Chains A and B, each alone.
Chain A
Amino acid sequence: MSTSAATASGVRAPSLAEAAWLVARREVRTRLRSKAFLISTGILVLAAFAGIVVGGILSANPSRTKVAVTSDVPAAVAQQLKASDSFAVRTVEGRADADRLVRSGAVDAAVARASGPLGFRVIAKTDVPEGLVGQLSVTPPVSILEKSGQDALLRYFVALGFGLVFFVTATTFGSAIAQSVVEEKQTRIVEILVAAIPARALLAGKVVGNSLLAFAQIAVLAAISVIGLTITGQGRILATLGGPIVWFAVFFVFGFVLLASMFAATGALVSRTEDIASTTTPVTMLVMAPYLLVVFGNANPLLVGIMSYVPFGAPVGMPLRLYLGTAQWWEPLVALVLLIATTAGMVALGARIYERGLLRMGSRVPWREALRA
């Protein structure tokens, strides 16, 4: 030991990048060791997969309307119903049988012979069976001049998907960063760390480590979606969703770094884990806003249009617009430039707040002091 006391001269000081990488590796390793993290990731992946599979099954087997048709109905009518995928046709003897089946709920509706120009009537229990009536009516030809890209339900689910994945991933890893910043302050190991490496390296390492994990999670989810859609035979959705998913991933990379630096900076303002919420709440709100907006406002083109340019909303808004086909080719590029510029500015500001807050122990550092030049 006495020989090792003064022999550190051969030690090479780690560069900023090397120090940051060491920190990042520790972050990843620590997170991967946490059971809570592994479980929540597993649940997220399972939920995504289950959603796709269930969606596939539902769309592959749309429920058919059960219809009883009396044997004396004009043959053309019975033929027309039997030819359609939407109806399960069952032939019955006469009107009495038809009425009985409708009353008992064994069929949804019946078609029976009747006097009048059509020669048949529709029998239902309480409500007019719109689908059946539509099928048996003469509809005028319709020309749609501007086709809406996707149907409303699917749009809702795509919006929900992007919003939810962004929200869950960003809050999971964002709060993990804030936690780990405060943990270092609370245990005071931060004094040893900043005596060894610059605070910037520490911050960069945290952001990089957690970002890598977040990206990995997004990549796994994307892969699960693609695999799930393929094996459930929903390739058509994949064709329209593939591009937006790639854009989502690109936007997510920068959007997450933006949020990560904000979580780190706000985490550095407090000294105890219990106080984290008091400063990170505004950031959490920023993450939640695009999620809520997209869930409740995905049908509002103006709202989604604005959202697709605001840096916090772009990772959700722009992929959605791309999916709907309402964005020009250059629009995601402009939004991306805006996002990157905001991220660069926020990383610089976040680093300053972080360095300032890191060694302030005790009560919460007021925003005014944290932001003062």
Chain B
Amino acid sequence: MIELRGIEKHFGGRPVLEDVGFRVHGGRMTGFIGGNGAGKTTTMRIILGVLAADAGTVEIDGTPIDAGARRRFGYMPEERGLYPKMPLTEQLVYLARLHGLDAARARRSTDDLVDRLGLGERRDELVEKLSLGNQQRAQIAAALVHQPEMLVLDEPFSGLDPMAVEVVLGVLRDYAHAGSPVLFSSHQLDIVERLCDDVIIIAQGRIRAAGDREKLRESHSGLRYELTGTSDTGWLRGVPGIRVVEFDGDFAVFDADDGAAAQAVLRRAVELGDVSGFTRRRPSLAEIFKEVVQ
């Protein structure tokens, strides 16, 4: 588990991060979302030790992080780049060795990853000769080639074609299944919604929401319900404590003043006919994001 506590960072007197704290659990995919300039990249750089925090701590399983622990991270910086004039596999082997793998192991890991990411035919090409999509894959390979135990990836999906997104997703899931903490930032809320077990929302340098995705949706749900049945739902209009939001024959969406009023509606609906659906509506991540960021 990676845990941040009370992280503060100022750039030239301007606060960029204020009291940032959250946890990234092992075995779970954690999405880190926020607008441009919210502090995502700065936070990730601090975790990796690329930037020093003005205050606060980063701990791995309760131990303050040090250079040795940071070497066990797979890191993908926001702004991408590899040595343009170096062949792909040679570059990956080099990065693996800088992280402490011996020559044979670095070579093996590189070969595995290059094949897995569909770069097998490009293995000896200079990085600058690769297509943009392949450069993105190479960048992901660079983050993973030293067989890290924790992943911190800044916008890993930006610029990837849909096929590459699936490949990368597969790799990240494997890491999570193997028990690694996986933290990644994204602008694409639908991807985060689809993939993440946990979500952290940051805005203006402060954490606005953090935790299990479903619990987050639960806690941000209003008392809005969906009812689908066999009978016409027009009767809902007259029920006290209920406001109909949407109505279409046997389907209706309504807000209830409290849970009891909603349950009363369900009982009445069952009396009037068959009910095929009665659900409390949960907000999408995008809706929650809009709500907490404001």
Give min CB distance, B112 to chain A, whole Å: 7
B174 touches A14 (CB 8 A): no
A191 touches B71 (CB 8 A): no
- Kindly identify, within residues 253 to 278 of chain B, every residue whose CB is under 8 Å from any CB belonging to chain A: none
What string of 1s and 0s marks CB contacts (under 8 Å) between B137-154 and chain A? 000001100111100000
The answer for the CA separation of A8 and B100 in the assembled complex, in Å, is 10
Give min CB distance, B49 to chain A, whole Å: 6
B179 touches A6 (CB 8 A): yes
B101 touches A11 (CB 8 A): yes
The answer for the CA separation of A1 and B169 in the assembled complex, in Å, is 13
B98 touches which of A2, A6, A14 (Cβ 8 Å): A14
The answer for the CA separation of A6 and B70 in the assembled complex, in Å, is 14
Give min CB distance, B212 to chain A, whole Å: 22
The answer for the CA separation of A189 and B95 in the assembled complex, in Å, is 10
The answer for the CA separation of A197 and B94 in the assembled complex, in Å, is 12
- Kindly identify, within residues 354 to 373 of chain A, every residue whose CB is under 8 Å from any CB belonging to chain B: 359
- Total A-B pairs in contact (CB under 8 Å)? 106
B95 touches A196 (CB 8 A): yes
A13 touches which of B68, B147, B178 (Cβ 8 Å): B68
Using known A-B contacts A5-B147, A6-B179, A7-B147, determine if residue A189 contacts B100 with beta carbons closer than 8 Å: no
Chain B CB within 10 Å, residue with most, of A19, A191, A193: A191
The answer for the CA separation of A189 and B116 in the assembled complex, in Å, is 22
B97 touches which of A14, A187, A198 (Cβ 8 Å): A14
B81 touches A189 (CB 8 A): yes
Give min CB distance, B23 to chain A, whole Å: 18
Chain A CB within 10 Å, residue with most, of B68, B73, B149, B179: B149
Residues of chain A contacted by B147 (CB below 8 angstroms):
4-5, 7-8, 11
The answer for the CA separation of A83 and B146 in the assembled complex, in Å, is 81
A8 touches B77 (CB 8 A): no
B95 touches A192 (CB 8 A): yes
B77 touches A191 (CB 8 A): yes
Size of A's binding interface in residues, CB under 8 A: 35
Instruction: Across the interface, name the chain B residue whose C-beta is closest to A29.
Output: B90
What string of 1s and 0s marks CB contacts (under 8 Å) between A1-39 and chain B? 111111111011110000100110010001001100000
A191 touches B75 (CB 8 A): yes
A22 touches B98 (CB 8 A): yes
Chain A CB within 10 Å, residue with most, of B77, B98, B143: B98
A5 touches B180 (CB 8 A): yes
User: Majority SS of interface residues in chain B?
Assistant: loop
A189 touches B85 (CB 8 A): no
Using known A-B contacts A1-B112, A5-B147, A19-B98, determine if residue A189 contacts B83 with beta carbons closer than 8 Å: yes
Give min CB distance, A209 to chain B, whole Å: 13
Let me know if B177 is at the binding interface, CB within 8 A: yes
The answer for the CA separation of A191 and B70 in the assembled complex, in Å, is 12
A192 touches B94 (CB 8 A): no
Let me know if A194 is at the binding interface, CB within 8 A: yes
What string of 1s and 0s marks CB contacts (under 8 Å) between A164-207 and chain B? 00000000000000000001101111011111111000000000
Give min CB distance, A292 to chain B, whole Å: 34
A2 touches B174 (CB 8 A): yes
30 residue pairs bridging A and B, Cβ less than 8 Å apart: A1-B112, A1-B174, A2-B177, A5-B147, A5-B180, A6-B175, A6-B180, A8-B146, A11-B71, A11-B99, A12-B100, A13-B71, A14-B97, A14-B98, A22-B98, A26-B86, A26-B94, A30-B85, A33-B85, A34-B85, A186-B81, A188-B79, A188-B80, A191-B48, A192-B142, A193-B98, A195-B71, A195-B73, A196-B95, A359-B51
Identify 17 new A-B residue pairs, CB closer than 8 A, beyond the known A6-B180, A19-B98: A2-B178, A3-B178, A8-B146, A8-B147, A11-B71, A11-B105, A12-B100, A13-B100, A30-B85, A187-B84, A189-B81, A191-B50, A192-B95, A192-B143, A196-B98, A196-B146, A198-B67
Binding site for B on A (CB under 8 A): 1-9, 11-14, 19, 22-23, 26, 30, 33-34, 183-184, 186-189, 191-198, 359
Binding site for A on B (CB under 8 A): 45, 48-51, 67-68, 70-73, 75, 77, 79-86, 94-95, 97-102, 105, 109, 112, 116, 142-143, 146-149, 171, 174-175, 177-180
